[in-house]
Amino acid sequence: MNSADTLDDEDTFKILVATDIHLGFMEKDAVRGNDTFVTLDEILRLAQENEVDFILLGGDLFHENKPSRKTLHTCLELLRKYCMGDRPVQFEILSDQSVNFGFSKFPWVNYQDGNLNISIPVFSVHGNHDDPTGADALCALDILSCAGLVNHFGRSMSVEKIDISPILLRKGSTKIALYGLGSIPDERLYRMFVNKQVTMLRPKEEENSWFNLFVIHQNRSRHGASNYIPEQFLDDFIDLVIWGHEHECKIAPTKNEQQLFYVSQPGSSVVTSLSPGEAVKKHVGLLRIKGRKMNMQKIPLKTVRQFFIEDIVLADHPNIFNPNSLKVTQAIQNFCLEKVEEMLENAERERLGNPRQPEKPLIRLRVDYTGGFEPFSVLRFSQKFVDRIANPKDVIHFFRHREQKEKTGEEINFGELITKPPSEGPTIRVEDLVKQYFQTAEKKLQLSLLTERGMGEAVQEFVDKEEKDAIEELVKYQLEKTQRFLKERHIDAAEDKIDEEVRHFRESRKKNTTEEEEEVREAMSRARAHRAQSEDLSSEFSVDDLASIDMAEQMANDSDDSISATSNKGRGRGRGRRGGRGQNSAARGGARRGRAFKSARQQPTRSATSKNYSE
């Protein structure tokens, strides 16, 4: 199919990489309802056509924590259609699968199950949209896993420590250590990294012969002090990080700041918010790994709905828009009409080259009306485009530069927060709202038995994940815990004594954030025993004695669609027709790999992040 094929041999892993497919997003929408299903079909077909060894997903396969029947049904249908068949799987797994898939009822890789004829195994971590919830700590991926169609890995729900055991894969002479970490609230994971509670286990034998691939689903760009995972937190020995969660396609691997490893951010395969990052063309990746060399071939997705976004600042055009003119609103409207028509023309021109793309594009015109202008009625404007735009109702988005307002005390205006347009400005979490509410509430409304954090998380579970019992479970758990405390201290005296003890108990809990967090997690999920068990199993590695190939440079690849990771961030990377990109690659420092690790069998090898990261 393309020149890269000549590189494919019995030592080369071919992996289709995708993240954030968000199956079921807007499934009720008459126009956009099928978009995610069509694109999953495209992605799986690409995997089949390219004869990949496996598919690697970086989380958020589903948009909803509890996907609709239709979404689940379609997903099963497509996986069964494309990932089952007679083509043999060409790689083997060397690690202990009962550790890798310890949470599953069928703790082994699906293609080795004698009852299932799998041609393309899918490996996936869960994202924040489809993470495990409820007393049974199951997620939507587990349904697919139980049906034998997906290998869900990278699960770790402990708040005390995370040991990431890799899946060890071998194809010919190439060995991949595949690490995964399903989505965890960013602040929690941040703190665990800082407290050295995150450990990546390494095979004890021939440590340097492995290509270390890590799949993570977290905020990559900074949202507040600790609401993201800085790349510096990650272990040096990693070769490539597949970073899920971020929707902007930056799939070409780039070196991180310290020049120690590469990061590829595939981005979502559907536009879920009308923001600039989503307007970047969507791709999946065909990742080739041979020995310790890699190559990421970008594959443009052809079924993704077009999305064009433009900004207008009215105040920048004093010659056209005079805020004092009577006809200014008409002028603005005409200008916007022209602008949208222009964007539609662009869309049509581009679509000519791609008949598989849905007809109606997504269009967004952001109009900054700071400076005394008035927004016009969007309703009538929208109606003009009902038949030509997929999102007629929100084509125009008026906004003003935010003026710094004086703080009016501690009061929260819930109404204001809720009517805030989505995908603009920092996201406000339900959890924080609840916390703020109870902290600023009148004395008599303040919580005495329950904790704000607990309530916050429970409400969040309830809202985000339709987890109907989350609040009830928390209340029950914390009530029982308080009763236990009182019993232990033999408080069965007068009522005021009890009040005092409860207050005391509460204060003591507040001081210990970790403990409280732990408690909340426990309340949310009673399935901890099972989890702890599989976490404590030490991974047994039986690695064959293969020559370790040093990863000196990227594989050369001059095909049109392909981008090789470059060695310097600063060096411009082109898209499309540019030859000889393989020469851009550079040797990676060999010294850091000289670190001595203990045998994983005697004592799990740890390489906990030792860097001090400070904000």
Among 1, 6, 10, 69, binds a second copy (CB under 8 A): 69
Choices 63-71, 347-355, 377-385, 572-580; region in contact with a second copy by CB under 8 A: 63-71
- Residues 72-91 binding a second copy (CB under 8 A) are 72-73, 76-77, 80, 84-86
Among 115, 319, 404, 614, binds a second copy (CB under 8 A): 115
By annotation, the residues acting in catalysis are 129
Q: How far is the CB of 214 from a second copy (least distance, A)?
A: 28
Hey, CA dihedral for 585, 589, 590, 593, is it positive or negative?
negative
The total of other beta-carbon atoms located within 10 Å of residue 234's CB is 24
User: Considering beta carbons, is residue 341 or 472 the nearer one to a second copy?
Assistant: 472
- Residues 138-157 binding a second copy (CB under 8 A) are 138-140, 142-143, 146-149
Distances (CA, A) of 228 to 73, 426, 496, 571, 594: 34, 13, 44, 26, 30
Site membership for a second copy, residue 28 (CB under 8 A) = yes
User: Considering beta carbons, is residue 143 or 549 the nearer one to a second copy?
Assistant: 143
Distances (CA, A) of 312 to 275, 332, 333, 340, 356: 14, 10, 12, 11, 31
Count of chain residues binding a second copy (CB under 8 A): 32
Choices 68-76, 175-183, 215-223, 402-410; region in contact with a second copy by CB under 8 A: 68-76
Provide the β-strand partners of residue 244: 217
Strand pairing category for 12-18 and 283-290: antiparallel
User: Amino acid letter at 258?
Assistant: Q
User: Considering beta carbons, is residue 85 or 422 the nearer one to a second copy?
Assistant: 85
Q: Cα-flanking dihedrals φ and ψ of residue 577, to 5°? A: -75, 95
Q: How far is the CB of 606 from a second copy (least distance, A)?
A: 33
Q: How far is the CB of 27 from a second copy (least distance, A)?
A: 10
CA dist., res. 406 & res. 174, Å (int) = 61
User: Considering beta carbons, is residue 73 or 317 the nearer one to a second copy?
Assistant: 73
User: Amino acid letter at 108?
Assistant: W
Among 1, 10, 114, 404, binds a second copy (CB under 8 A): 114
Q: How far is the CB of 89 from a second copy (least distance, A)?
A: 13
Among 70, 196, 571, 575, binds a second copy (CB under 8 A): 70
In three-state secondary structure terms, 472 is helix
For 154, the token pair is 């990278």
Q: How far is the CB of 392 from a second copy (least distance, A)?
A: 18
Q: How far is the CB of 66 from a second copy (least distance, A)?
A: 7
DSSP state of 33: T
- Residues 453-472 binding a second copy (CB under 8 A) are 469
Cβ contact 333:384 at 8 Å: no
Among 1, 10, 105, 574, binds a second copy (CB under 8 A): 105
User: Considering beta carbons, is residue 73 or 223 the nearer one to a second copy?
Assistant: 73
For 354, the token pair is 């791609």
User: Considering beta carbons, is residue 66 or 281 the nearer one to a second copy?
Assistant: 66
For 435, the token pair is 């916390």
Mind giving me the DSSP string for 539-578? Answer: PP-----PPPPP--SPPP---TTEEPPPS-SSS----SS-
For 572, the token pair is 């411009």
**Binding residues for a second copy (CB under 8 A):** 28, 66, 69-70, 72-73, 76-77, 80, 84-86, 105-106, 114-118, 134-136, 138-140, 142-143, 146-149, 469
